[in-house]
Amino acid sequence: MPERIVVPFGPQHPVLPEPIHLDLVLEDETVVEAVPSIGYIHRGLEQLVQKREFPEYVYVAERICGICSFMHALCYCQGVEHIMGIEVPDRARYLRTIWSECSRLHSHLLWLGLFADSMGFENLFMRSWQLRESVLDVLEDTTGGRVIQGTCKIGGVRRDIEPEKLGEMHRALDSFEEKCRDLTDVFLNDETVKYRLRGLGVVGKDAAYALGAVGPTVRASGVRVDLRETGYAAYGDLDFRPVVETTGDCYARCAVRAGELFTSIDLIRQAIDAMPDGPLDVKVKGMPDGEYFSRVEQPRGEVVHYLRGNGTKHLVRSRIRTPTLANIPMLVKMLPGAQLADVPVVVLSIDPCISCTER
């Protein structure tokens, strides 16, 4: 019988963009068990909700994670708006949608690059991040920030996008989409990539659903769950269908994220075409008194902000459930049976964000 050994994977590792920590139980080179450990970078951000006034906490929420920054702010603002009965102007809803999808584009392109790096495909890594730079340039041009946007506020948004700039963005989408197709063609059709990814880290539809996975991780196993279909922000006004794959392996998780690039491009086009006129925000009166579970679809999946107020300027409670936390049980299911050399690829396939998870 092969001898079992325990190999620590992370929190520091050349492949990992995030300090995830796993203890891998191996028999020879095969993983038989994976034991996750969290809490390495805990920052205590939820406690700050009792020390910062509720409009100020938006700035804390969007610093939970740099990549999902805008969507954390959006989720928090939506929660407070529901508690206080605030109706956001239509133009603000559409701008929130555009910035959300730009955030999804730059997150997925960042992930595609890191995923290529985990396979040793350095040229593909550079091409992915080169495309991501063009998205960050748009975010910087329209919000003032490349990673932390700071445009979402309770009651609306802080900045507008002028019609000329919207037209420029719309025209630029054609060439950007063509470049994305060239990039994703390599990820989906290159024989080396397919050989490395197909049949690796397989989790079926029933198991993925039972484990509570979210986002592209669960949609790659055939479960159609995407909160954009609930119609928050302006998604209810736009034509949208989630990207779903059925094989449940690393290749399928890559295919879902590749497909979502074009979904995001289409949603941005639709939002620009249908952009309404009107104010950007409404005046916020009173204090939040009540509780609400606010949910949005981040690039990695569903994020939940539970908020509770008692009629004062400080919320009583803020509790956040991030998509990576929901996907870690799925990761633990994927790893047994994989070779040690394939562990970085499997781990990266869920797009882990430990900054979000541990806060």
- pLDDT tens sequence across 113-149: 999 988 888 889 999 999 999 999 999 999 988 888 8
Evaluated on CA atoms 146, 147, 150, 151, the torsion sign reads positive
Residues of each annotated binding site for Ni(2+): 65, 68, 353
Q: What is the pLDDT of residue 43?
A: 75
**Mean pLDDT, the chain, integer:** 91
Instruction: Tell me the C-alpha distance between 32 and 193, whole Å.
Output: 25
Instruction: Tell me the C-alpha distance between 184 and 111, whole Å.
Output: 12
Give pLDDT tens digits for 175-233.
999 999 999 999 999 999 999 999 999 999 999 999 999 999 999 999 999 999 999 99
Instruction: Tell me the C-alpha distance between 44 and 63, whole Å.
Output: 12
Pairing of strands 289-298, 301-310: antiparallel
Q: What is the pLDDT of residue 38?
A: 78
Q: Does the structure show a pLDDT above 90 at 41?
A: no
Q: What is the pLDDT of residue 42?
A: 75
Instruction: Tell me, yes or no, if the pTM score tops 0.85.
Output: yes
The pLDDT confidence band at residue 160, using thresholds 50, 70 and 90, is very high
Pair 301, 323: CB distance under 8 Å: yes
Instruction: Tell me the C-alpha distance between 45 and 62, whole Å.
Output: 11
Give which of 298, 356, 331 is closest to 36, Cα–Cα: 331
Instruction: Tell me the C-alpha distance between 255 and 274, whole Å.
Output: 29
Residues of each annotated binding site for Fe cation: 68, 356
Evaluated on CA atoms 162, 163, 164, 170, the torsion sign reads positive
Residues of each annotated binding site: 46, 65, 68, 320, 353, 356
Pair of tokens at residue 227: 């909160």
Residues of each annotated binding site for Mg(2+): 46, 320
Q: What is the pLDDT of residue 21?
A: 85
Domains, the chain, in order of start with CATH, read 42-353 (1.10.645.10)
